[in-house]
Structure 1
């Protein structure tokens, strides 16, 4: 008569399942266990438990501490010490303020990720009872002429990936000055927010060579029809804004000095703000002021001066003064 092997204590659990169970217990409890305790938890013999711990010890990136004490073998996973980090309700509210400031610019999918990430920060509160207070919305943003970027989420994600991985993209761009879209070879470097719009800033490249920069360029994201990552890398570095002069205007050009006189009705508004590096403001007895500052975009300057109507007069440069006067003549014709 052939002797039968005794049945396994847990005959429905595979060796790999037992290893996973042991790893979970050691990792998430952080406690130390003897070989006998492990055998009891896994419902197996000490011999099987010993083999499982040996397999676990050979696993890469798992630091299993093994020692003998009181004639027993003990096991514990050595975990790296975590820094003691906590957030106050005020700090989370400040993060919420930053979220609200850009909320209208984000596609729905990304805004949901931001909301979820912000909610997770409450786990770092010393007192979990303060969660509701920390997430109270006490900020708001008033937006005029907002763009819904939800249809452009895939394009934004593609550009973000290209920025991180230093990939070159093919951009299909519909310029308002062209009847048909045009393909561009583009190395995106950053996404910029300006006047309730998102822009991709980077370098326009020669399609036939990998690294020949044609010029720096900026694309309005809502005018990009498609963005495809090409099998090409670049090695360009992001320019540091601190190293260049800050001049008035979004579209970059060679800065030039400008003089504008403002009436007392808008003088406070002008004086409260910084319009360019090294600006100067001269005040007059009647309350009017003279602003001298640097400008890098003539079309933006003209539109800005015209937005003040009779409260602003462009003094210099003379050529732009004449262009403003011509625009005013054309505007007057519209109302006659």
Structure 2
């Protein structure tokens, strides 16, 4: 489960506990993406250990026990709301090296000044309940000024001139962009841009931006462009060549992917054609051909492209290249 998804599930459980009638262990299990009862009970015990006030009902044994998290703050400020901010603080490692750490620290210091000391102490301990994963975060040291420039450009609709090292050929190119949105994805920060010349939407990895210069020229947001609708058509975040593929997954992988939101049966991009003890065959209609190919490769023997044939051949070629790497300087 991804870092953001885990934090979202934990916040759902906190919100349920904060209701006037609280929540049962079963309710917490469902909120935690169908985790087991022991995990739900462990979550409650961890809150108690960190002095988060939990009240248990005293009903008869045959009635499911309910737990309620008491609010310590002003009635207009819910404990869950402040906890949500602390969860975000824990997940803010992504932006730690991007020059925003000092701003986050300043904001939390101001919030804490408005709260009693004992409440501040309890909230600080919430970091022990939700452990952020650091190893997936990319290094953005030295990119703070670039990100600040982009934020300013997006807020004021200013054109930027950038030097960017493309992933495909590792060549650095310089050109003008219309920066639209910054967003986190799998431990990285990405920039959604509009290229005015060819009139296309593209993605840039912030760590590959070498220079960003703010220009005086302004731009208008692309008419009829909806970023949410844009990402609904992609397999990940990159919109490249369209592909309609059939993919086989082993029983083990079939169970794992069903926990991912993008494989929800309500997703129009995905169709489950067959599901049995031998695995799952699904049809994926997407603009993200390269990310789909990499996803299939990442599962090794537990996944296989059935169609189209040109995608199968691309995957076969990638596997053959991995067995016969080109070594620099070899004969």
Question: Is TM (by shorter chain) over 0.5?
Answer: yes
Measured against aligned partners, the alpha-carbon deviations of 1:122-171 in whole angstroms (never above 9, x if no partner) come to: 3454x553111123212222244532212000000000000001100111
The 5-angstrom pairing of residues 36-51 of structure 1 reads: none
Question: 2:182 and 2:277 mapped to 1: Cα distance?
Answer: 44
Deviation at 1:90, TM superposition (A): 2.8
1:253 pairs with 2:240: yes
- SS of equivalent to 2:320: helix
What is the aligned partner in structure 2 of residue 132 from structure 1?
Answer: 121
What is the aligned partner in structure 1 of residue 3 from structure 2?
Answer: none
Deviation at 1:254, TM superposition (A): 5.4
Using CA pairs under 8 Å that are at least 6 residues apart, name the structure with larger relative contact order, 1 or 2: 2
What is the aligned partner in structure 2 of residue 328 from structure 1?
Answer: 319
Among candidates 285, 296, 300, match of residue 309 of structure 1: 300
Question: 1:129 and 1:332 mapped to 2: Cα distance?
Answer: 60
Gaps of at least 5 residues in structure 1 are 1-83, 207-212
What is the aligned partner in structure 1 of residue 196 from structure 2?
Answer: 205
1:102 pairs with 2:92: yes
Deviation at 1:97, TM superposition (A): 1.2
Among candidates 245, 259, 281, match of residue 272 of structure 1: 259
TM-score (norm 1): 0.65
Runs of 4+ in 1 over 6 A off after TM superposition: none
1:223 pairs with 2:208: yes
Among candidates 82, 87, 91, match of residue 92 of structure 1: 82
Among candidates 284, 294, 300, match of residue 293 of structure 1: 284
Deviation at 1:205, TM superposition (A): 2.9
Gaps of at least 5 residues in structure 2 are 1-73, 327-331
Deviation at 1:186, TM superposition (A): 0.9
Structure 1's 285 and 232: CA in aligned 2 closer, same or farther, altered over 3 A? closer
Question: 1:108 and 1:252 mapped to 2: Cα distance?
Answer: 26
Q: CA RMSD in A?
A: 2.6
1:181 pairs with 2:172: yes
TM-score (norm 2): 0.66
Measured against aligned partners, the alpha-carbon deviations of 1:171-199 in whole angstroms (never above 9, x if no partner) come to: 11122455653211111011122221112
What is the aligned partner in structure 2 of residue 168 from structure 1?
Answer: 159
Measured against aligned partners, the alpha-carbon deviations of 1:262-317 in whole angstroms (never above 9, x if no partner) come to: 11121211122233632233454425112222222222211111111111111122
Structure 1's 226 and 119: CA in aligned 2 closer, same or farther, altered over 3 A? same
